[in-house]
Structures are given as structure tokens and as C-alpha cells.
Amino acid sequence: MDRKRFFESLDNIKIFSGNANRPLAQKICEYLSIPLGDAYVGRFPDGEIDLKVNEDVRGVDIFLIQPTCPPVNENLIELLMFMDCLRRASAARITAVLPYYGYARKDRKDEGRVPITAKLVANIIVEAGADRVLTVDLHAAQIQGFFDVPVDHLLAFPVLCNYYQNLNLPDLVVVTPDVGGIKIARAYSKKLNVRLAIVDKRRTGPEETEIGFIIGDVKDKNVIILDDLIATGGSIYQAALILKDKGAKDIYVGATHPVFCGSAGEKLLAAPIKEIAVTDSIPLNSKGKGLGSKIKVLSIAGLLGEAIRRIHTNESVSSMFSETPETQPVFGLM
């Protein structure tokens, strides 16, 4: 699409943001060449959220950018209140743009008497006014079905894969740190034309994992460990140790969501890892910044901006992930 048609297609659309990731919202607006919507999202003296949209939204197609990253409950309530406000102000359609969907890991009853919070939160988001959801690398793809509205589920794959293609690492193996990541790791191995290895991980506590064995050969290979998110860093730390033990050369890590909590900073600094590439789905916190030159942040603003444009103009979103050469460069359009 030429630039003239690109801009002409964007009428009657507004982008708003809560406080969770305003820099990403700004970048998405830059991609779309539209200003960020004017709204106040502050706090009352008692800590309750105070919110006001400062411009007319009647009949407008709204995209509200708000990852539900830590502080997850604060960010979630901001999202819900913002949608309630937009709905009552007669917005034509509200798309909740969740670059990171928190609570996603609580997606089933893995023991008795526990909630399924990923479903509960999806219910609340729809109830508060979301007509659609746009999200990136859900912890499990099935979570799309928890929302009873259309969900566009993007993958950070084109952004991360493009980065690793440009690094052009020799003798490379792609590693998934648990069996749940095999499908996406296989896509990387196919695109990068390298072999795949699998780490057999079992979670033994919120911060602890236990690693059994590795399927595949990593001896004298450079490896990229790929994961959807890094929280306490336990999974990546353990995986890096065993990969080194098995003779891996340089270890790179690629993860979409830099949650970085608990002892992530210490663990990731101590781990035998050369570089960790993450996206800006979540702003980098102090633990992430503390990793210094070990951390590399790649932007998914173009990916989200392009998806927003296509949703607004009723064009295919899934074709962004097809293998056609024309679709890939579009994320870097501006």
C-alpha cells in the first residue's frame, strides 16, 4: 500500500493509552501518523484511579493500549475504567490492545480449589466494554477462546526472527526451554534453517524449576533459547546452565515479554548468557535495565500499528504472518 492510501484509510480512529506503557502507545501513533488521544489517568489522594477522556469519542473506532503487566492489578483496573468511560461516551467500537496479557499463566485448574484467573480476567475485560481484543504472544494460544469477542493474536516472531537473521550466528541451534514452546521454536528453526533442541523442564514452585534432560545436540553450537516471557528468570537460568554443561558455545535468549520480577536481575546477570533480546510489550523495569549491555529491546510498535490499521480497515491480520515477501517489510514502513 502506498503512503497516501495508508493515511487516507485512517479516518474516525483514535488511539488512547493508560499508564502501563505510554512509550509504546506513542510509537504506535508515530507508525500510524496520528496523535495519541488526550486523556487524564491519575490517582485520587486515597489511591483510587481518577480518569477523564478529554476529547470527543462519539462514534469513533477506539484502540486502547494497555498491557496488564506489573503492577498488574493497577493496570488492569485502569484498563477496565478506561473502557467503561469510552463506552459511556458512545465510542463506536473499543479494541482492548493488550501487548501483554497478565494472569495468563493461571489458565487451568492444575490442582484443586484454585481459580482460573485467565478466564476470569477475560470475562471482566469483555464485560467492561471490549468489543475486540488485540494481543501478542499469549502464554497459551487457547486463551483466545476465553474472550467471547474476536481476538487477534499477534506473534512477535517476525520481529525477533528478523533480528536473529541479521545477527547471522554460525553453528546455530534453537532451543525451547519447555515442551509448550515447541511449535513456535519449530517456526524459528524453519525460518533460520537451523536445528531444534528441547529442554525438559518441570516447575517445582513459583521461582523454582527442575530440568531433566535435553533432547537434541548443542555441543559446540551457539544457541538461542526462545520463550514467551521471562518472569523470575528461573527457567532461563536453569536452561542456560544445563546447555553450557552440555557444551553449548554462546547462549542468546529471545523472549517477547520482559516481566522481570523476583530475583530475575541477579539470576540473569549470573547466568552464562551472552544477550537477552526482548520486546517493548512491557516497559523495561529496573531489573531489566540493570542487565546493562546484556539486554536488547526490539520494538513491536510497527507490528501492533500495522495490525490496528488492518483491523480498522477490515483487512486480513493473519496475512501479516504469511511467508510472502511483501508482508514482512511493512512493519518498518515508517
Smallest gap from residue 109 Cβ to ligand R5P (A):
17
61 versus 227: smaller Cβ distance to ligand R5P:
227
Using CB under 6 A, pick the residue from 69, 77, 174, 231 that binds ligand R5P: 231
Contact flag: residue 65 with ligand R5P (CB under 6 A): no
Q: Is 234 in the site for ligand R5P (CB under 6 A)?
A: yes
The binder of ligand R5P chosen from 30, 49, 116, 180 (CB under 6 A): 180
User: Least distance to ligand R5P from the beta carbon of 277, Å?
Assistant: 15
Which of these segments, 18-26, 153-161, 233-241, 304-312, binds ligand R5P (CB under 6 A)?
233-241
Among 18, 37, 102, 233, binds ligand R5P (CB under 6 A): 233
In the complex, the smallest distance separating the C-beta of residue 282 from ligand R5P, rounded to whole angstroms, is 13
C-beta of residue 67 within 8 angstroms of C-beta of residue 99: yes
- Say which of 14, 27, 201, 287 is annotated catalytic: 201
Candidate list 229, 240, 242, 248; residue touching ligand R5P; CB under 6 A: 229
> Binding pattern to ligand R5P, positions 95-134, x when CB under 6 A?
----------x-----------------------------
Residue 1 CB, shortest distance to ligand R5P, in Å, is 35
Q: Is 4 a catalytic residue?
A: no
